[in-house]
Chain A
Amino acid sequence: MLNRRTLITSSMAALAVASTSCAAPSGTGGGDPANMLLADGYEPSSLNPLLGYARWGAAKFYDGLLAFDGNGRLRPALAAEQPRPSDDARTWTVRLRRGVKFHNGEPFGARDVVATYRAAIDPAYAATISSGLSMLDEVEAVDEHTVRFRLNVPYAAWPARMVMGILPASALAEAIPQERSPLNTQPVGTGPYRLAEWRRGERMVWRANRNYWGGTPRIGEITVVFATDDNTRAQRVQAGEFDGTVLPPLLAERVGGGAYRTVHHDTADYRAITLPADHPVTGDPAVRMALNLAANRSEMVDSLLGGHGEPAYTPIPPSMERFHEPEARLEFDQRRAREILEEGGWRSGSDGIRTRNGTRASFTVMYFADDTLRKKFAQAFASDAGKVGVRVELAGVDRTEAAERIGTDAIVLGGGTPLDPDPQMYPGLHSSMIGTGTYRNPAKYRNSRVDAALDAGRNTVGEAERARHYKEAQRAYVEDPGLVYLAFIQHSYVVRTGVWNGYQPVVEPHTHGTTWGPWWNVEDWTPKK
Chain B
Amino acid sequence: MAGLVARRIVLAVPVLLFVSLAVFLLAAASPFDPIHQYYGVQIFDASAADVARVRQQLGLDRPVPLRFLDWLGGVLSGDLGVSRSMRRPVADVLAERLPWTLLLAGCGLALAVVFSLFVGTLAAWRQGGWLDRLITALGHALEGIPPFVVALLAIASFSLGLGWLPVAGLTDAGSALGPAQVAEHLVLPAAVLGLSQSPWLVLHVRQSLLAAFTEDHVTGARARGLRERVVVLRHALPTALLPFVTLIGARVPELVTGAVLVEEVFSWPGVASAVVTAARAADYPLLTVLTLLATAAVLLGSLLADVAAVLLDPRVSADG
Residues of chain A lying within 8 A (CB to CB) of residue B269:
199-202
Chain B min CB distance to A315 (Å): 13
Complex Cα spacing A37 to B171, Å = 14
Report whether A436 and B172 are in contact in the complex, using a CB–CB cutoff of 8 Å. no
B58 within 8 A of A: yes
Chain B min CB distance to A31 (Å): 10
B7 within 8 A of A: no
Complex Cα spacing A12 to B82, Å = 32
Residues of chain B lying within 8 A (CB to CB) of residue A11:
152
Report whether B264 and A26 are in contact in the complex, using a CB–CB cutoff of 8 Å. no
Complex Cα spacing A132 to B47, Å = 9
Residues of chain A lying within 8 A (CB to CB) of residue B173:
26-29, 37, 39, 203, 223, 225, 236, 241-242
Q: Which of B29-37, B61-69, B117-125, B220-228 contacts A (4 or more CB under 8 A)?
A: B29-37
Which one of A26, A415, A438 contacts B172 once the chains associate, using CB atoms below 8 Å? A26
Q: Which of A179-187, A259-267, A295-303 contacts B (4 or more CB under 8 A)?
A: A179-187
Report whether B58 and A185 are in contact in the complex, using a CB–CB cutoff of 8 Å. no
Which one of B45, B85, B264, B273 contacts A437 once the chains associate, using CB atoms below 8 Å? B45
Report whether B45 and A201 are in contact in the complex, using a CB–CB cutoff of 8 Å. no
B219 within 8 A of A: no
Report whether B265 and A12 are in contact in the complex, using a CB–CB cutoff of 8 Å. yes
Report whether B177 and A199 are in contact in the complex, using a CB–CB cutoff of 8 Å. yes
Report whether B87 and A48 are in contact in the complex, using a CB–CB cutoff of 8 Å. yes
A116 within 8 A of B: no
Which A158-181 residues sit within 8 Å CB-CB of chain B?
177, 179-180
Chain A min CB distance to B169 (Å): 6
Which B169-197 residues sit within 8 Å CB-CB of chain A?
169-175, 177
Residues of chain B lying within 8 A (CB to CB) of residue A179:
38, 58, 82, 84, 87
Q: A51-B87, A179-B87 are in contact. Are A225 and B174 (CB under 8 A)?
A: yes
Q: Which of B14-22, B158-166, B204-212, B302-310 contacts A (4 or more CB under 8 A)?
A: B158-166
- B72-93 CB mask vs A (1 if < 8 Å, else 0) is 0000000000101111110010
Which A393-410 residues sit within 8 Å CB-CB of chain B?
398-401, 403
Residues of chain B lying within 8 A (CB to CB) of residue A18:
156, 160
Complex Cα spacing A39 to B152, Å = 23
Report whether B57 and A12 are in contact in the complex, using a CB–CB cutoff of 8 Å. no
The residue of chain B having its C-beta at the shortest distance from the C-beta of A130 within the complex is: B50
Complex Cα spacing A199 to B89, Å = 16
Chain B min CB distance to A198 (Å): 10
Complex Cα spacing A75 to B167, Å = 45
Report whether B45 and A223 are in contact in the complex, using a CB–CB cutoff of 8 Å. no
Which A78-114 residues sit within 8 Å CB-CB of chain B?
none
| Max chain B C-beta neighbours (<10 A), residue from A18, A52, A124, A201 | A201
Chain B min CB distance to A212 (Å): 24
Residues of chain B lying within 8 A (CB to CB) of residue A403:
33, 36
Residues of chain A lying within 8 A (CB to CB) of residue B46:
128, 130-131, 437-439
The residue of chain A having its C-beta at the shortest distance from the C-beta of B176 within the complex is: A197
A1 within 8 A of B: no
Residues of chain B lying within 8 A (CB to CB) of residue A241:
173
Report whether A45 and B85 are in contact in the complex, using a CB–CB cutoff of 8 Å. yes
Report whether B170 and A52 are in contact in the complex, using a CB–CB cutoff of 8 Å. no
Q: A28-B174, A398-B31, A436-B48 are in contact. Are A201 and B273 (CB under 8 A)?
A: yes
Report whether A439 and B85 are in contact in the complex, using a CB–CB cutoff of 8 Å. no
Residues of chain B lying within 8 A (CB to CB) of residue A185:
87-88, 92
Complex Cα spacing A395 to B306, Å = 53
B41 within 8 A of A: yes
Report whether B82 and A16 are in contact in the complex, using a CB–CB cutoff of 8 Å. no
Report whether B174 and A26 are in contact in the complex, using a CB–CB cutoff of 8 Å. yes
The residue of chain B having its C-beta at the shortest distance from the C-beta of A132 within the complex is: B45
Which B248-286 residues sit within 8 Å CB-CB of chain A?
264-265, 267, 269, 273, 276-277, 280
Residues of chain B lying within 8 A (CB to CB) of residue A435:
48
B214 within 8 A of A: no
Complex Cα spacing A236 to B160, Å = 13
B24 within 8 A of A: no
B213 within 8 A of A: no
Report whether B160 and A180 are in contact in the complex, using a CB–CB cutoff of 8 Å. no
Which one of A15, A24, A123, A423 contacts B45 once the chains associate, using CB atoms below 8 Å? A423
Q: A179-B82, A437-B47 are in contact. Are A128 and B88 (CB under 8 A)?
A: no
Q: A26-B172, A415-B44 are in contact. Are A398 and B267 (CB under 8 A)?
A: no
Chain A min CB distance to B306 (Å): 33
A204 within 8 A of B: no
Residues of chain A lying within 8 A (CB to CB) of residue B58:
126, 177, 179
- B44-56 CB mask vs A (1 if < 8 Å, else 0) is 1111111101100
A427 within 8 A of B: yes
Residues of chain A lying within 8 A (CB to CB) of residue B31:
398, 400-401
Report whether B32 and A400 are in contact in the complex, using a CB–CB cutoff of 8 Å. yes
Residues of chain B lying within 8 A (CB to CB) of residue A236:
173
Report whether B38 and A128 are in contact in the complex, using a CB–CB cutoff of 8 Å. yes
Complex Cα spacing A191 to B53, Å = 31
Report whether B40 and A45 are in contact in the complex, using a CB–CB cutoff of 8 Å. yes
Complex Cα spacing A400 to B148, Å = 31
Which A1-51 residues sit within 8 Å CB-CB of chain B?
4-5, 8, 11-12, 15-16, 18-19, 22, 24-29, 37, 39, 45-46, 48, 51
A329 within 8 A of B: no
Report whether B43 and A399 are in contact in the complex, using a CB–CB cutoff of 8 Å. yes
Residues of chain B lying within 8 A (CB to CB) of residue A130:
46, 50, 54
A134 within 8 A of B: yes
Report whether A128 and B42 are in contact in the complex, using a CB–CB cutoff of 8 Å. yes
Complex Cα spacing A101 to B161, Å = 51
A129 within 8 A of B: yes
The residue of chain A having its C-beta at the shortest distance from the C-beta of B59 within the complex is: A177
- A456-480 CB mask vs B (1 if < 8 Å, else 0) is 0000000000000000000000000
Residues of chain A lying within 8 A (CB to CB) of residue B87:
45-46, 48, 51, 179, 184-185
Chain B min CB distance to A258 (Å): 20
Chain B min CB distance to A323 (Å): 19
Complex Cα spacing A27 to B175, Å = 7
Complex Cα spacing A123 to B166, Å = 47
Q: List 28 A-B contacts (CB under 8 A).
A: A5-B264, A5-B276, A12-B155, A15-B160, A22-B161, A24-B163, A26-B166, A26-B174, A29-B173, A37-B174, A48-B87, A123-B53, A128-B42, A130-B46, A131-B45, A177-B57, A199-B170, A199-B269, A202-B171, A223-B173, A223-B174, A225-B174, A413-B44, A415-B41, A437-B46, A437-B48, A439-B44, A440-B45
List 8 additional contacts besides A185-B87, A436-B49; criterion CB under 8 Å. Answer: A8-B148, A8-B152, A51-B42, A131-B46, A179-B84, A202-B170, A400-B36, A415-B44
The 6 closest A-B pairs by CB, nearest first: A26-B172, A28-B174, A128-B42, A184-B87, A19-B160, A46-B87
Which residues of A pack against B, CB within 8 Å? 4-5, 8, 11-12, 15-16, 18-19, 22, 24-29, 37, 39, 45-46, 48, 51-52, 55, 123-124, 126, 128-132, 134, 177, 179-180, 184-185, 199-203, 223, 225, 236, 241-242, 398-401, 403, 413, 415, 423, 427, 435-440, 510
